[in-house]
Amino acid sequence: DTGVSQDPRHKITKRGQNVTFRCDPISEHNRLYWYRQTLGQGPEFLTYFQNEAQLEKSRLLSDRFSAERPKGSFSTLEIQRTEQGDSAMYLCASSLAGASTDTQYFGPGTRLTVL
Amino acid sequence: DAKTTQPPSMDCAEGRAANLPCNHSTISGNEYVYWYRQIHSQGPQYIIHGLKNNETNEMASLIITEDRKSSTLILPHATLRDTAVYYCIVRGGYNQGGKLIFGQGTELSVKP
């Protein structure tokens, strides 16, 4: 399967701990997006990269959140000093800029539970 | 905020066509209509998109009104596996890239 992959699929942590999630996009895709989804809501945009450059960040991305895409391939999303309100599904998507409509394809998500 | 309005829920009998409406009265001339669906606890799945012409693929058909202010996603022969939340999203093309703004979507229940 050559779709978007995310690791881990599930993460349980205690409040105050740091967590890091990884996303591997579809291999030729140069754009990578992070979204967050809480129960009963649609996904909300967090940030996106084109190659290595982080082009947009949402106000939802507080100082405790940092995302990187150092070589323009995989990306990591780190949450420092987790809070119970960070419990959510974290989704990654990728797309190919230069295609006519830049369609985003999503991974399976990482479900975070903060105790 | 999302630029689309969808009914919160719909039912459909298995084997019948499911017609999911979406209103996007403020759509701009260069904005596309995208449809995704999300089966419980999975990532959103891309279904189809269009600009102004009707589109069809192996999953669904997309009918966009002439004034582009509304559209309908058609699943021609719904199965139980089509039970999901369906999201209609308006976004720009390549030059306006970036985020998808999801609304609440329509929860489609396909029943035997």
- What confidence tier does A99 reach under pLDDT thresholds 50, 70, 90? low
CA dist., res. A108 & res. A111, Å (int): 9
How far is CA A35 from each of CA A88, A110, B7, B43, B86, rounded to the nearest angstrom? 10, 11, 23, 10, 17
Q: How confident is the model at residue A81 (pLDDT cuts 50, 70, 90)?
A: very high
> Using CA atoms, how far apart are residues B68 and B22, in angstroms rounded to an integer?
11
Which chain A residues are within 8 Å of B46, Cβ to Cβ? 103-106
pLDDT at B28: 86
Residue A98 near chain B (CB below 8 Å): yes
Say whether pLDDT at B68 is over 60: yes
Mean pLDDT, residues B69-93 taken together:
93
Identity (one letter) of the amino acid at B88?
A: C
Mean pLDDT over B16-21 rounds to 98
Phi, psi of A80, deg, nearest 5:
-95, 150
- B49 vs A: CB within 8 A: yes
Q: Provide the number of CB pairs (under 8 Å) joining chain A to chain B.
A: 65
A95, A105 Cβ separation under 8 angstroms: yes
**Helix, strand or coil, per DSSP, at residue A84:** helix
Query: Rounded to whole angstroms, what are the CA distances from B20 to A87, A96, B28, B56, B70?
Result: 31, 28, 21, 15, 11
Q: Which two structure tokens, joined as six digits, stand for A20?
A: 């890091």
Write the residue in A42, A89, A102 that is nearest to B102 by C-beta: A42
Q: What is the pLDDT of residues B21-48, one digit of tens each?
A: 999 998 988 889 999 999 988 999 999 9
Structure tokens at B54: 């009707």
Cβ-based burial of B46 (10 A; exposed 0-12, middle 13-18, buried ≥19): middle
- Nearest-angstrom CA–CA distance, B99 and B112: 37
Q: Is the pLDDT of residue B13 over 90?
A: yes
pLDDT reading at A62 higher than 70: yes
Single-letter residue type at A84: Q
Residue B74 reports pLDDT greater than 90: yes
- B31 is written with which tokens? 């904005």
Select from A61, A92, A103 the residue whose CB has the most chain B CBs within 10 Å, as the one to mutate to test that interface.
A103
Is pLDDT of B93 > 70? no
Average pLDDT over residues B62-77: 96
